[in-house]
């Protein structure tokens, strides 16, 4: 009986260890995927920041050019003699 | 997250004045709704995950069927992870799309601004060109052919510049004519007195006063200068007589001549080419003064021909009779 109980306990421990290893494998898989997701989010943030920076630069350049055009058009409009033939 | 929510909540739609502002406002509203929706979803997912974790913790401690609780937890974790990945994928795709749309809009706006700048530059260049044209002092002086240039003293509707230029030319021609006469005079004086007397004999008696009147320059010149000219190394400067004779025939004050330095000075047997002023003069351009003195004008070509013949014979036979006769007649 004792020998049978010892074998059963050993089997149970083996099963528990195997289940524990399976659980660990599952957790490692989940953590790996979460890390991949985190890496994707970091990469996405970098890409979006770069795009937003270039867009901001373009908008700044465009704003300056528009201001220059506005000043030129204002100067030309203030001098109607330029358009007199 | 809270900061983003606060910033998005602060954006209040304003009254749009034109179409561009309306479209910009709509796009901003769309971006705000996108952000708000996905942030809210992520926030709900976060609370759900926290509540699920608490539930499974209690179930694992209280329930006897731990195996089933663990399996359920695994399934829930996998589903939550997949759902989160899908959600984040959808968010990133929409954000990327929105960014690309904005970049395209900015590129289109840059093109429009470049077009406006180019048009403005074209207008500026046109204005500058017109200003230069207005401010430039280019006067289109009428350009006449040489034969149409009126002589000094005639009224002319053209500019004074052409007139003064022609006056200068006439003066030059007069100087050349004086030099030519002096040279001929000196050549004649060098000849023996018998020849001179022979040349003078056929001339009529009333000629001398006329000759003295014409050669007033010679008479007023000092004797020293005359002697200098007689002994000058240019013994016979009549080599230029080909072109000078044509000028000398015409009166310097009444008839215009066109001095042509490129014309050959060698004697030309063709008298038409030697006297360019006579054939080039068109009948329509003759002056009233010339019409009055028509006889004199008709005599000029014959005199010129005789002068040419005299010069040619002078070079060949050294006889000055004809030349002297011509000078006497002139």
pLDDT tens sequence across B17-62: 676 777 777 777 877 777 777 778 878 888 888 999 899 888 888 8
The predicted model gives A28-32 an average pLDDT of: 92
Sort out which chain B residues have CB atoms less than 8 A from A37's CB and list them. Answer: 81, 84-85, 88
Task: Return the number of CB contacts < 8 Å for A and B.
Answer: 49
Domain residue spans of chain B: 19-135, 147-281+296-329
- Scored b (16 or more CB within 10 A) or e, B47-79 reads eeeeeeeeebeebeeeeeeeeebbeebbebbee
State pLDDT tens for residues B288-308.
444 445 455 555 567 777 888
Answer yes or no: do A33 and B120 touch at CB < 8 A.
no
Predicted local distance difference test score (pLDDT) of residue A70: 87
Tokens of B122: 């074209």
- Rounded-to-integer distance, Cα B202 and Cα B194, Å: 13
Q: How high is the mean pLDDT of chain B?
A: 64
Q: In terms of CA atoms, which chain A residue is nearest residue B88? A: A41
Chain A CB contacts of B110 under 8 Å are: 58, 61-62
Are the C-beta atoms of B223 and B233 separated by less than 8 Å?
no
For residue B18, what are the contacts with CB-CB under 8 A and spacing of at least 6?
none
B113, A48: Cβ pair inside 8 Å? no
Cα separation, B297 vs B280, in Å, equals 14
Q: Which of B81, B103, B117 is the closest to A30 by Cβ?
A: B81
Contacts of B115-118 with CB under 8 Å at 24 or more apart are B116/A69, B117/A65, B117/A69
State the pLDDT at residue B152. 63
Task: Quote the CA–CA distance of A66 and B171 in Å, as a whole number.
Answer: 68
Which residues contact residue B311 at a Cβ distance below 8 angstroms, ignoring those fewer than 6 apart?
B238, B241, B245, B267, B323
Contact between chains at B113 and A41 (C-beta distance less than 8 A)? no
Task: Select the residue of A26, A48, A69 nearest B99 (Cβ to Cβ).
Answer: A48
For testing the chain A interface, which of B27, B60, B85 should be mutated: the one with the most A CBs within 10 Å?
B85
Q: How many domains does chain A have?
A: 1
Residue with tokens 């006497």: B328
Q: How far apart are the C-alpha atoms of B273 and B270, rounded to whole Å? A: 6
Give B250's contacts (C-beta < 8 A, 6+ positions apart): B256, B257, B277, B300
pLDDT at A78: 83
Q: Are B327 and B188 a contacting pair, CB within 8 Å?
A: yes
Helices (H), B63-136: 66-135
Domain that holds residue A12: 2-83
Rounded Cα–Cα distance for residues B108 and B197 (Å): 105
What was the pLDDT predicted at B324?
58
B99 with A55: Cβ contact below 8 A = yes
Q: What is the pLDDT of residues B241-294, one digit of tens each?
A: 444 444 444 444 444 444 444 444 444 444 444 444 444 444 444 444 444 454
* Span B147-199, pLDDT tens digits: 776 666 555 554 444 444 444 444 445 566 677 667 666 666 655 444 444 44
How far is the C-alpha of B176 from the C-alpha of B240, rounded, in Å?
10
Give the pLDDT mean for A10-24. Answer: 89
Which residue among B78, B107, B117 sits closest to A65, beta carbon to beta carbon? B117
> Are residues A33 and B109, on separate chains, in Cβ contact within 8 Å?
no
What CA–CA distance (Å, rounded) separates B4 from B169? 93
The structure tokens listed for B201 are: 């004999």
Rg (CA), chain B: 55
Cβ(A67)–Cβ(B118) under 8 Å? no
> And the tokens for B272?
């038409």
Residues of chain A contacting residue B106, judged by C-beta atoms under 8 Å apart? 55, 58-59, 62
Query: Which residues in chain B have their CB less than 8 angstroms from residue A41's CB?
Result: 88
For residue A18 the two structure tokens come to 């195997």
> What ipTM goes with this model?
0.81
Q: Note whether B103 contacts A40, CB cutoff 8 Å.
A: no
Over the range B221-251, which residues count as b (16 or more CB within 10 Å of their CB) and which as e?
A: eeeeeeeebeeeeeeebbeebbbbbbbbbbb
Q: What was the pLDDT predicted at B328?
A: 60
Select the residue from B103, B121, B133, B135 to test the A interface by mutation, using most A Cβ atoms within 10 A.
B103
Residue B173 in tokens: 């021609």
Judge: B88–A37 Cβ closer than 8 Å, yes or no.
yes
């Amino acid at each position: 009986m004792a020998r049978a109980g010892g074998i059963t306990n050993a089997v149970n421990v083996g099963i528990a260890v195997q289940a524990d290893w399976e659980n660990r494998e599952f957790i490692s898989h989940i953590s790996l995927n979460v890390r991949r997701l985190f890496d994707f989010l970091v990469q996405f943030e970098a890409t979006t920041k770069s795009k937003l920076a270039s867009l901001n630069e373009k908008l700044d350049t465009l704003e300056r050019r528009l201001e220059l055009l506005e000043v030129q058009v204002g100067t030309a409009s203030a001098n109607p003699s330029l358009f007199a033939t | 997250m809270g900061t983003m929510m606060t910033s998005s909540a602060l954006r209040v739609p304003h009254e749009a004045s034109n179409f561009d502002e309306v479209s910009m406002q709509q796009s901003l509203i769309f971006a705000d709704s996108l952000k708000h929706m996905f942030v809210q979803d992520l926030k709900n997912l976060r609370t759900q995950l926290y509540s699920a974790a608490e539930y499974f913790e209690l179930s694992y401690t209280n329930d006897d069927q731990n195996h089933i609780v663990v399996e359920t937890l695994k399934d829930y974790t996998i589903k939550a992870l997949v759902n989160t990945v899908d959600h984040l994928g959808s968010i990133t795709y929409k954000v990327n799309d929105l960014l690309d749309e904005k970049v395209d809009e900015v590129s289109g706006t840059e093109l429009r601004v470049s077009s406006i700048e180019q048009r403005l530059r074209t207008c500026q260049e046109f204005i500058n060109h017109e200003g230069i044209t207005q401010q430039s002092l280019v006067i289109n002086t009428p350009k006449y052919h040489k034969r149409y240039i009126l002589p000094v003293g005639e009224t002319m509707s053209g500019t004074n510049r052409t007139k003064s230029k022609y006056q200068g030319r006439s003066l030059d021609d007069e100087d050349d004519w004086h030099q030519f006469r002096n040279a001929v005079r000196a050549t004649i004086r060098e000849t023996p007195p018998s020849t001179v007397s022979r040349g003078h004999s056929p001339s009529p008696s009333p000629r001398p006063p006329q000759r003295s009147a014409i050669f007033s320059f010679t008479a007023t010149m000092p004797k020293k200068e005359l002697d200098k000219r007689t002994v000058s190394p240019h013994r016979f400067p009549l080599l230029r007589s080909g072109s000078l004779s044509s000028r000398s025939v015409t009166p310097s004050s009444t008839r215009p001549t066109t001095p042509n330095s490129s014309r050959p000075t060698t004697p030309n047997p063709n008298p038409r080419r030697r006297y360019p002023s006579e054939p080039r003069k068109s009948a329509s351009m003759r002056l009233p003064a010339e019409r009055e003195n028509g006889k004199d004008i008709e005599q000029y070509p014959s005199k010129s021909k005789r002068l040419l013949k005299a010069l040619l014979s002078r070079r060949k036979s050294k006889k000055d009779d004809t030349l002297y006769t011509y000078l006497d007649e002139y």
